[in-house]
Every structure is written in structure tokens, then in C-alpha cells.
Amino acid sequence: MQLNEKISVIEAILFASGEPVEFDRLAQAADVELSTLHKLISLLNSNLAERDSALEILRLDETYQLATKKQFAPFIRAAMETRKSATLSPAAMETLTIIAYNQPVTRSFIDDIRGVDSAGVVSNLLEKELIEEAGRLDVPGKPILFKTTNNFLRCFKLSSIADLPPLPTDNSQVTFDDVATDEE
């Protein structure tokens, strides 16, 4: 099979799937080595960019997904008659941050850090498919563990959890006294 044919096969698989496809599964289906797959994806993305395509290939953890570019979202929403996606509440962002940086975590861990019950917020994040169950902790009661999803990576334009920005250190935190002193 020619190079262009292999690229077309990969594009067809990603298009038909509609969901992220694991590297190994995609390589096997396209009958290419894993190292070759990454090069072909890079070429496919270059081809899409050269054609000013509305599509791009996203890397989400150990998967690839064919997706539309963000700039076309308003047109797609209008065509599909979907409502504008709701922004996350501060409580949801706080909970999502706790999960993303500490995953997998239990709801009681989240509650302890936040200082309030997080059941509703966790349910909301599960509904939005930003988090998912990641098994159970091996302690009495066997609480559910939560982790972020590929949808989380896609929404926040991350290739993997490793791309999260580092948490601030004590030295980089700004206090109220620092701000008040600077303004005087």
C-alpha cells in the first residue's frame, strides 16, 4: 500500500469511529507499526492544515481523534440546533482541579479538600463526561475512585494529564498583604 493510501485508511478509521481510537488499535487496523502511525498522523495533520480543512487530529492521552477545529463550533451548533455549552461553576472547576491533579481520588478526598459535600458537583461532572469511575479503593466500604476522561483532555486542549500546568508553590503565591503593601 502506498503512503497516501495508508494516510487515507487512518483518516477513514478516525472519521468512522467518531470517538478517540487507541494507538495500538489504530496501528493494527491500518496495518502499520506504532512509530510509523505517529509519523502518518503528523503527515495527515499537515495535509489537513495545508488544505485549510475544518478538521484536525487530536492526540488525547494514548489515543487519536478526528475533530473539527474550535473556530467552527458556532456554525456546527447552529446547524445542529444545540444550545451553547454551559460554563462550569467555580465549584465544578475546583472539584475538577482536585481530581485532575490528584487522580484517582475518592469523593471523601474531594470533600475533605473543599470542606463541603461534593456529591452534586461530582454527579454533574460525571454527566458532562469530564470525569469517570476508575475502580474502587481497597479499604472498608470500597469507595469509588474518580479520574478525568479523554473528554476532559479535549475540552481543555491537553494531550495528556502531564500537560497540566504546575501547581503554584508557596513562594509563588501572592498574599493579601503583598497586594495591599504594593498599592500603598
Query: What is the CATH code of the structural domain delimited by 3-69?
Result: 1.10.10.10
Helix (H), strand (E) at residue 112: helix 107-114
Question: What Rg do the C-alpha atoms of the chain give, in angstroms?
Answer: 21
pLDDT, block means (10 residues), the chain with 184 residues = 87 90 93 92 93 93 91 83 70 94 94 92 93 92 93 88 84 60 47
Question: Where do the CATH 1.10.10.10 domains begin and end in the chain?
Answer: 3-69, 90-172
Question: What cell numbers appear for 95 in the block?
Answer: 472539584
- The reported pLDDT for the residue numbered 184 is 45
Query: What is the CATH code of the structural domain delimited by 90-172?
Result: 1.10.10.10
95: how many CB neighbours lie within 10 A of its CB? 27
Q: Which of 7, 2, 3, 14 is nearest to 55 (CA)?
A: 14
- The reported pLDDT for the residue numbered 182 is 47
- The reported pLDDT for the residue numbered 171 is 67
- Contact yes or no for 67/56 (Cβ under 8 A): yes
- The reported pLDDT for the residue numbered 85 is 60
